[in-house]
Amino acid sequence: MKLLLEGARQLGLSLTGEHLRMFQVYYGELVAWNARFNLTAITDYEQVQVRHFLDSLSCVRALVGTDYLLPVTLAGPALRLARPLTCIDVGSGAGFPGLPLKIVFPRLHLTLLEATGKKVTFLEHMVERLGLEEVMVIKGRAEELGQMPGHRERYDLVLARAVAELPALAEYLLPLCRLGGLCIAQKGIEAQAEVASAQAALAILGGELRRIIPVELPGLAETRHLVVLEKTARTPEKYPRRPGMPTKRPL
């Protein structure tokens, strides 16, 4: 997995042989299950390394300069979490970005939220197959979980990739994020436009744009972006609205 190893190094991550073994197992299981369950359109060995694994790990760039990471630079030998963090991956699908981050940062207390049963089954299988601890897989929707006391405003990090446009996505993510926590939305070239259209939603839901980080991945012509939101005020109790409403009637 040379592409993964070198790409991770550029992110400030030093992957061990055990990390690479786990990613190799992940790839094998993803391809095997994909033949039956259609988990992803991307199955090429190198493309999975870049578009799934490295793309997921690129979320670490949003944590550089925060107190979530030990004070080392991207030129350092390895970025590490300063303390255990609670993290939820909303609409996890086949486990991206949550599972690759958990592999590299074992101190992450991870919740994988997914509404599709076959994907939930795959996620549960991968957690067991990789021997991961402190990982919870939940079948459900963000609109429901965001109103549950055990999850509402409980997470240090709230992640999402390819779930919805930002005005709707903010209503999924911010109710789950603790005050002072971060939401990281992985976006493509439309990131700036989505942020502009989400200003009203952010003001209502208690979020502020912290920064937009461009991400270049090896072999990809397009630039990816991390939209980093900070939870600066509590989300009003009526949000998130009932399932389907955030996308049907974005704030």
pLDDT-based confidence at 163, cuts 50/70/90? confident
pLDDT-based confidence at 170, cuts 50/70/90? very high
Q: What's the average model confidence in pLDDT over 59-79?
A: 77
Write the CB contacts of 44 (distance below 8 Å, at least 6 apart in sequence): none
Count of beta carbons in the 10 Å neighbourhood of residue 128: 11
Reduced to 3 states (helix: H, G, I; strand: E, B; else coil), residue 188 is: coil
Q: Is the pLDDT of residue 237 over 80?
A: yes
pLDDT, residue 219, reads 84
d(CA 140, CA 116): 8
**Of 5, 23, 10, 138, nearest to 74 (Cα)?**
10
Q: What's the average model confidence in pLDDT over 66-85?
A: 75
Report pLDDT digits (tens) over 119-131. Answer: 999 999 999 999 9
pLDDT-based confidence at 70, cuts 50/70/90? confident
Write the CB contacts of 121 (distance below 8 Å, at least 6 apart in sequence): none
Q: Is the pLDDT of residue 73 over 70?
A: no
- Give the whole-number percent of the chain exceeding pLDDT 90: 90
Q: Is the pLDDT of residue 78 over 90?
A: no
- Which is higher by pLDDT, 74 or 232? 232
Q: What's the average model confidence in pLDDT over 223-240?
A: 97
pLDDT, residue 75, reads 47
Q: Positive or negative, the Cα torsion across 171, 111, 99, 230?
A: positive
Report pLDDT digits (tens) over 212-229. Answer: 999 999 988 899 999 999
pLDDT, residue 72, reads 55
Domains and CATH numbers, the chain: 2-248 (3.40.50.150)
Give a three-class secondary structure readout of 36-72.
HHCCCCCCCHHHHHHHHHHHHHHHHHHCCCCCCECCC
Helix (H) or strand (E) holding 33: helix 17-37
Q: What's the average model confidence in pLDDT over 241-247?
A: 94
- Give the whole-number percent of the chain exceeding pLDDT 70: 97
DSSP codes of every residue in 53-119: IIHHHGGGGGTTTSTTB-S--TTSS---BSS-EEEEEET-TTTTTHHHHHHH-TTEEEEEEE--HHH
Token pair of 225, please? 């972006």
Angle at 65 between CA 64 and CA 70, to 5 degrees: 75
- Which is higher by pLDDT, 79 or 17? 17
Residue with tokens 């994909």: 34
Averaged pLDDT of the chain:
94
